[in-house]
Amino acid sequence: MQRLGIFGGTFNPPHKGHIYIALEAIKGAALDKMLFVPCGNPPHKSVEGNVSPVQRFEMTRLAIADYPDFEITDLEMKSKEPSYTLKTLEKLKILYPDAKLCFVVGGDSVRDMKDWYHSEEIFKLAEIVALRRGGIDDSIFESSIELYKETYDAEITVVDILPTDVSSSELRRKIAKGCDVADLIAPSVLEYIKEFEIYKDKI
Ligand code: ATP
């Protein structure tokens, strides 16, 4: 059975932490490919910066262009509805009926998933591939995983990585201040940000 990695996010902007965990997840959880799903209207956070869903999609497309195992879908981006993970997984199950859905999450999402829209249904539909994130306490990461396993019988694969704390919010702040972020972001994405003057003054 194909193991389909699903990587949802705001990607505002996509950064090297995203690429790193996607590559590690493929390797560590034996995924056949990774489907990036930039969200349209995130229900759990506001989209900061003068950026449109189409621009976040385009930046994500550029960020993954060099990686043959990475693909992207506009499933969430083109919808006007709030981007609930459960709804996305249900749609993907119809599109990929024979695949095992493996939903990839970093440590902050692992911590927060209990508050997501019908998370108990998410755990029924998909295996969770969890990767630690710098700044998120190990004990919180581990206790969240235990809770999901015990309460929801969740199937969770933890992929061990060297955690990084690079974040889109840090990047937006740095870009607005004119700092050099070339080591945290793909050159093509940086070009795009400069061309469309994204994050220039609003963060
Ligand atoms: P923001 O700073 O705006 O909150 P972000 O950097 O968390 O953004 P998202 O696009 O919201 O980026 O994240 C999408 C997914 O990638 C989430 O599951 C998140 O946990 C994970 N992720 C992002 N950066 C990292 C990182 N450095 N390490 C581990 N996971 C990460």
Mean pLDDT in runs of 10 for the chain (203 residues)? 97 98 98 97 78 96 98 93 93 97 97 94 98 95 97 97 96 94 97 95 56
By residue count, the chain amounts to 203
CA–CA separation, 35 and 123 (whole Å): 18
Atom of ligand 1 nearest to the CA of 108: 20
Q: How far is the CA of 9 from the centre of ligand 1 (A)?
A: 7
What pLDDT is stored for residue 202 in this prediction?
A: 52
Cα(104) to centroid(ligand 1), Å: 11
- pLDDT of 203 reads 45
pLDDT of residue 24: 98
Classified as helix, coil or strand, 38 is strand
Could you tell me how far CA 40 lies from the centroid of its own chain?
13
Q: Give the per-residue pLDDT at 201.
A: 72
| Closest-lying ligand 1 atom to the alpha carbon of residue 105 | 18
Residues enclosing ligand 1, CB less than 6 A?
9-12, 17-18, 21, 105-109, 131, 133, 164-169
- The domain spans of the chain are 2-195
Would you say domain 2-195 falls under CATH 3.20.20.150?
no
Buried b (16+ CB within 10 A) or exposed e, 136-164: beeeebeebbeebeeebebebbbbebebb
Q: Cβ atoms within 10 A of the Cβ of 120, count?
A: 14
pTM of the model: 0.96
Task: Report how far apart, in Å, the C-alpha atoms of 140 and of each of 112, 132, 161 are.
Answer: 10, 10, 16
The SS3 call for residue 114 is helix
Atom 9, ligand 1: which residue's CA is nearest? 9
Ligand 1 pocket mutation, candidates 47, 51, 133, criterion most atoms within 8 A of CB: 133
- Give the bridge partners for 5, in sequence order: 34, 102
